[in-house]
């Protein structure tokens, strides 16, 4: 696990698994943690890492309901978890989904946890909307296309955008169940003006981006979605994302889009 400051009031904690990012945002004496690292050892160390830097969260947020983004309560079991209304609907429609997916991946990678995942107290947040943090407000922006649910979190006073599973420099757009290329394209269009206001963009997976790089990824991801909708079996993938794993993801996207 690696912790890097992208602003005096923002720390990005990156898991050793999938380059998965969690982001601590602070305003005055209050902090919130968005998303989570993966491994049990990382979650165990997380409270101490954040406390040493002066980031002790008062609440947790998750950009969407995928299992790898909702593990914050394993590190902070007494805190509530805030999610978009769309994510709350997903949790209610598919109870136990995150827990089952986590167990499946833990079994696959031989990961042993001290206790099972419990989402506990979960709060539904109106999206689009705003959420107070200290004397400031976080902007909550709707996202969809990767899944049917989600939100991006923007801290305008520091210019930090937490994008969830969008704008990744290591992954092509992944269309999971409930998502669609059309919804994904709509999210890219909606995020573009937010990116233009940002100084740093933190994707769900991969290194933090500057504004120009994030704008380039929006264009590249749009071109990929064009190829997906044309049904191309061997499209040109963006530089740095043309790997066997990303080809596997594309095959899944293609199968899902043609179903």
Q: Looking at the DSSP assignment, which residues form a beta bridge with residue 200?
A: 160, 210
CA dist., res. 177 & res. 257, Å (int): 10
Confidence of residue 136 (pLDDT cuts 50, 70, 90): very high
Confidence of residue 259 (pLDDT cuts 50, 70, 90): low
Closest by CA to 81, choosing from 103, 104, 101, 57, is 57
pLDDT at 258 over 90: no
* Each residue's pLDDT tens digit, 185-216: 999 999 999 999 999 999 999 999 999 999 99
* Each residue's pLDDT tens digit, 39-83: 999 999 999 999 999 999 999 999 999 999 999 999 999 999 999
- pLDDT for 256: 85
The CATH code for residues 2-258 is 3.60.15.10
- pLDDT for 257: 73
Cα 246 versus chain centre, distance? 18
Q: Evaluate whether 191 touches 218 at the Cβ level (below 8 Å).
A: yes
Any residues with CB less than 8 A from the CB of 82 and at least 6 apart, and which?
59, 60, 61, 62, 122, 123, 125, 131
Q: Model-level pTM? A: 0.96
* Each residue's pLDDT tens digit, 86-119: 999 999 999 999 999 999 999 999 999 999 999 9
CA dist., res. 245 & res. 242, Å (int): 8
Mean pLDDT of 227-240: 95
Share of the chain above pLDDT 90, in %: 98
Mean pLDDT of 144-165: 98
* Each residue's pLDDT tens digit, 212-228: 999 999 999 999 999 99
């Amino acid at each position: 696990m690696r912790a890097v400051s992208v602003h005096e009031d923002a720390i990005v904690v990156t898991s050793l698994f999938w380059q998965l990012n969690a982001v601590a945002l602070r305003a005055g004496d209050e902090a919130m943690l968005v998303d989570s690292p993966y491994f049990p050892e990382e979650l165990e160390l997380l409270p101490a890492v954040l406390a040493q830097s002066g980031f002790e969260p008062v609440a947790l947020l998750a950009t969407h309901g995928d299992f790898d983004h909702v593990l914050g309560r394993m590190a902070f079991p007494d805190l509530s978890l805030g999610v978009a209304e769309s994510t709350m609907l997903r949790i209610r429609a598919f109870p136990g989904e995150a827990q089952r997916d986590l167990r499946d991946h833990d079994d696959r990678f031989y990961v042993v946890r001290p206790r099972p995942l419990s989402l506990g107290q979960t709060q539904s947040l109106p999206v689009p909307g705003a959420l107070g943090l200290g004397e400031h407000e976080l902007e909550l922006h709707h996202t969809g296309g990767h899944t049917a649910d989600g939100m991006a979190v923007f801290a305008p006073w520091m210019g930090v955008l937490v994008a969830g599973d969008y704008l990744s420099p290591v992954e092509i757009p992944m269309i999971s169940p409930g998502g669609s290329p059309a919804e994904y394209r709509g999210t890219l269009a909606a995020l573009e003006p937010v990116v233009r206001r940002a100084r740093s963009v933190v994707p769900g997976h991969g290194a933090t981006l500057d504004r120009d790089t994030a704008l380039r990824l929006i264009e590249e991801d749009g071109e990929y979605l064009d190829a997906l909708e044309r049904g191309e079996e061997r499209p040109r993938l963006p530089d740095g994302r043309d790997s066997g794993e990303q080809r596997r993801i594309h095959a899944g996207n293609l199968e899902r889009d043609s179903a």
